[in-house]
Each structure stands twice: as structure tokens, then as C-alpha cells.
Amino acid sequence: MRFKALLLTAMLALCTTAQAQFFWPENPEQRSDAQTLWTLFDDTYGQGDYEAAKPYLEQIVEKYPTLSTAVYINAIKVWKDTYKNEKDAQLKSAAADRIMELYELRYKNFPDEKAKVIDRQAIDAFQYYYKLKPKTQELLDLFSEAYTIKGNNAYYPLGRYYMNIAALAYTRNTGISDDEILKIYDTCTRHIDFQTAKAKSENKSLKRYVAIKEFIDKKLVDLNLIDCEFIVEKLVPEFEQNPNDAELANKIFVYAYEGGCTDAEWFVTAAERVFESDPQYGVGYLLGAKFGAEKNFDKSKDYFMRAAEVTDDNTDKAKAIKQVAVTERIQKNYKEAQKYAMQAAEVDPTLKEEMFTLIGDMIMGSLECDAKKSQVDDRARYILAYDYYMRGGNSVKANAASEQFPTMGDIFTANKEEGQSVFVGCWIQQNVKLKKRPDQ
């Protein structure tokens, strides 16, 4: 295993060297010296002996600082290894400082490099210094610069660390204002939302992205900066003036959701704007539930169906469709309720019992469908209800339905036979095979 690890390290070192561009000194003696130092470093580094490689690296950095970006890339790797394995706190701190110095030397000698790795530097700096209160503002400034340079294209976890140090700055009473915290939160949120959408378009797993989003939101909530009064006084008036501002609507939605202000009319209006600008399952489902509670059933069903359309998760999709079925039943649109219940059960088979039971219950309760022609015709729907209960695996309700089957006398009086097809009309519109009551 040790040999494999060394071989892998050597291969990585060779790849770095092969891809790097070198600017050898024109002076023959200096060129020879630089080549010798690099070869000595490269051989030692490739063998995994980072401590032995350090002196060569330090000489190159001092004597030939513009030799190659590979010098700094490998130097940072070497010192990161020291930081990781060093037990002495003072030496560990010195290693962290050296890593930060190497980043700055890299930028000084190769200015274009800053735009490539400043986000990685910020994350490294957080890990080394976040426990040190005097370093708090320095870290905030570094993260701010990273976002200024890279924007939403920064490495996707950047916002997690930025929001973390911002929260620490607040609890440490460094003078950071509420508005500054909220601006940082907005920056981090826009970034992770952008990166999540990008990952989704590339069919990547969203688990890590969702976790970062949740972390950022929780950090804000834990600071208790946002309450309903803040939203009403500072954000709602602005939104009323600019109802098409999707970014402002999203801010109101998030703040209100986290702050427990979801009963206000302006929250629903903001949520609708958020969904229109960026349809997401959670927002659509929430709106469906909101309008359902207000008995605005048409809008409720619309949002539940739109929520179902924007998710690829069958569990979520079926959950939304189920709500449409339930709402149709409330409105006594039984045929539509049956249709959506069947859809929900098909999309997510775990809902089969619940959805077939719902259909059975509707049939059992449809007394208005009895034509009063004969006991057989009127009781045939109980047989159909029984069939749905059995398809859903609900034997308790199936047994209850079977007690309502026509008796053998009813079947004889109607001049019919067991197994004969009987049509159940009304909204049900289905044929069922005639069965007698089990106790007969």
C-alpha cells in the first residue's frame, strides 16, 4: 500500500510538471542551478518525502520566484501536508501562515492565478484561522474579494464558509452590521442556487448542494436577525412598489419562511412571484397547501400539479398529485378525484393502499348513486368498493364493504346470477361481477 501511495504521488508530481510552463533563466549558470533545484525537488517530492523536498522548494521560491506556477502549486501541497500532520500548535500555525504567504507569492509573480484559486485560498484560510478572533475581519475581506473576483462561478462550497465566518463575526461583536450580514447571506444564497442549478443541468447529485443551502439558511436563523417586523417595515413596502422583482420576492420568501411569517398575504404574493421566476417543487407545494387552507381550491390544485411537473422525484410527485385527488374529493368531483388517485398510486406504489382506499370510500359514500331500482343494482357499488379496497390491501374496509353485498335472495328476486356483470352508473361508470354477501 505504501508503494502504491508513493507511486501515485510520483505520478501526480509528474503530471503537474508536464502540464506546467517553465520560464528558465537566460543566464546559463542560473538556468543550470534552477534546473538542478527543480529536479532535486521533483525527485524527492515524487517519492513522497515532503520534508526533504522543502529546502529545494524554498530555494526556488527565493531565487527563482517566476520559474513556474507549479512551484507554488506544489509548495502549497507540501505545506498543507505539514499542517495536517503537525502536532505542535506553534509549528502548525507557522505552516498555515506559510501557505497563505505562498498564495500571495503566487499572485505576485503570476497575477492571473488569483482569479483561478482565490476561492480555494479563502476556504483554506477559514480552516486555519476561524478560531482566531483577530483574524475574523481578514477572513471576511478575503471572502469578499473572492466573490468580487469569481462571483457565482466560485467553488461551490465557498458560501458555506463565508456565512460561517460572518456569523462568527456577529457573535464576536466585531462591529459587523445586520445589513452586512444580510448582504453576505444574499451573496451566498445566490451562489449556491446558481451552482445547484448548474449541477442539476449536468445530472449531478444535489445532496451536497442542498446541505450547503440548509447550512447557510440555518446560520442566518440562528442569529435571530430576521423577524416579521423587519420584513414588514423594510422589505414589503419595496416589494409592493416592485412586485415583479423576483430577487426581492425570494428574499422576502426565505426570510418570512425562516422567521415564521408565512400567514401574511404578502408572503403568498412573494411566494407566487418566486415560483413564477424559478419553479421549484417545495414552493409550489407550499402554495398548493396555502390556497387549499383558504378554500381557494382551483388555485390549490393548480399549484399542486405544477409542483408535480417540476420534480423528478416520484415520491414528491405522487405526494402533490395525491393532494389534487383529495381536493377533488372535497369538491365532490369524484370522477376527477378517482383519476388523480390512480395517477398518484401509479407514480408511487407506496400510496396504493391510501389511494385505492380513498376511491373505495367515495364509492361507499355515494348514496346519491342509488337508483332505487333493485337491491342488486343499488348494492353493486359496494362490490366495486370492495374490489378497490382489496386492490389497495385494506382488508378491514373490504370486509365492511362485503357486509353490504346483496343477499342471495336479492340476486334471485332480480333474476340475476353470481358472476354476472352489473353496471354501476352515476359518476362511477364501471361494470362489476355480482357477488353475494359472504354470510349467505
Residue 16 lies in a domain: yes
Residue 2 lies in a domain: yes
pLDDT at 369: 85
Both 306 and 369 in one domain: the answer is no
Dump pLDDT digits (tens) for 389-419. 999 999 999 999 999 999 998 898 888 889 9
Between CA 320 and CA 169 the distance in angstroms is: 41
Give Cβ neighbours of residue 100 (< 8 Å, ≥ 6 apart): 121, 124, 125, 128
Residue 229 lies in a domain: no
Model confidence at 4, pLDDT cuts 50, 70, 90, reads very low
Query: CATH code at 339?
Result: 1.25.40
Residue matched to cell numbers 357477488:
435
pLDDT at 11: 43
Both 366 and 343 in one domain: the answer is no
For the cut 90, the answer to whether the pLDDT of residue 20 exceeds it is no
Domain that holds residue 386: 362-433
Between the alpha carbon of residue 187 and those of residues 128, 153, 166, 170, 322, the distances in Å are: 23, 12, 12, 17, 37
Residues paired with 432 in a beta bridge: 422
Whole-prediction pTM: 0.65
Dump pLDDT digits (tens) for 161-172. 999 999 999 999
For the cut 60, the answer to whether the pLDDT of residue 14 exceeds it is no
Rg from Cα positions in the chain: 34
Model confidence at 348, pLDDT cuts 50, 70, 90, reads very high
Residue 398 lies in a domain: yes
353 is written with which cell numbers?
393502499
Please report which residue ranges of 310-350 form alpha helices under DSSP H.
Answer: 314-330, 334-347
For the cut 50, the answer to whether the pLDDT of residue 236 exceeds it is yes
Torsional sign, CA 417, 423, 428, 432: positive
Instruction: Report, as an integer, the average pLDDT of 225-230.
Output: 85
Which amino acid would we find at residue 140? Answer: L
The proportion of the chain whose per-residue pLDDT surpasses 70, expressed as a percent, equals 96
pLDDT at 6: 38
Give the residue from 302, 323, 347 where a domain finishes.
347
Residue 286 lies in a domain: yes
Both 18 and 71 in one domain: the answer is yes
Model confidence at 69, pLDDT cuts 50, 70, 90, reads very high
pLDDT at 136: 97
Residue 257 lies in a domain: no
57 is written with which cell numbers?
522548494
Per the structure, how many domains does the chain have?
A: 3
Both 24 and 94 in one domain: the answer is yes
Instruction: Report, as an integer, the average pLDDT of 148-154.
Output: 97
pLDDT at 19: 62
The backbone torsions φ and ψ at residue 431, rounded to the nearest 5 degrees and listed phi first, read -90, 150
In which region does residue 366 sit, left (phi positive, over 0), alpha (psi from -120 to 50) or beta (all else)? beta
DSSP calls for 170-204: HHTT-S--HHHHHHHHHHHHHHHHHHHHHHHHTT-
Give the residue from 83, 109, 135 where a domain finishes.
109
Instruction: Report, as an integer, the average pLDDT of 194-221.
Output: 92
- Cα 65 to chain centroid, rounded: 43
Dump pLDDT digits (tens) for 107-126. 999 999 999 999 999 999 99
Both 8 and 100 in one domain: the answer is yes
Both 394 and 317 in one domain: the answer is no
Between CA 201 and CA 14 the distance in angstroms is: 34
Comparison of pLDDT for 438 and 348, the residue scoring more: 348
For the cut 50, the answer to whether the pLDDT of residue 7 exceeds it is no
Give Cβ neighbours of residue 270 (< 8 Å, ≥ 6 apart): 239, 249, 250, 252, 253, 256
For the cut 90, the answer to whether the pLDDT of residue 329 exceeds it is yes
Both 315 and 391 in one domain: the answer is no
Both 26 and 99 in one domain: the answer is yes
pLDDT at 82: 95
Both 33 and 94 in one domain: the answer is yes
For the cut 60, the answer to whether the pLDDT of residue 378 exceeds it is yes
73 is written with which cell numbers?
502549486
Both 39 and 81 in one domain: the answer is yes
H/E run at residue 424: strand 421-424
In which region does residue 400 sit, left (phi positive, over 0), alpha (psi from -120 to 50) or beta (all else)? alpha
For the cut 90, the answer to whether the pLDDT of residue 327 exceeds it is yes
Between the alpha carbon of residue 255 and those of residues 163, 226, 270, the distances in Å are: 15, 7, 11
Between CA 225 and CA 436 the distance in angstroms is: 68
Residues paired with 421 in a beta bridge: 433
Q: How many residues does the chain have?
A: 440
pLDDT at 368: 87
Both 29 and 100 in one domain: the answer is yes
Is residue 241 exposed (0-12), middle (13-18) or buried (19+ Cβ within 10 Å)? exposed
Between CA 31 and CA 23 the distance in angstroms is: 9
Q: Are 194 and 158 in contact (CB under 8 A)?
A: no
Is residue 5 exposed (0-12), middle (13-18) or buried (19+ Cβ within 10 Å)? exposed
Give the residue from 347, 371, 406 where a domain finishes.
347
What does DSSP assign to residue 369? G
Residue 204 lies in a domain: no
pLDDT at 157: 97
The proportion of the chain whose per-residue pLDDT surpasses 90, expressed as a percent, equals 80
Between CA 229 and CA 319 the distance in angstroms is: 34
Both 7 and 95 in one domain: the answer is yes
Number of H helices, E strands in the chain: 22, 2
Residue 353 lies in a domain: no
For the cut 90, the answer to whether the pLDDT of residue 12 exceeds it is no
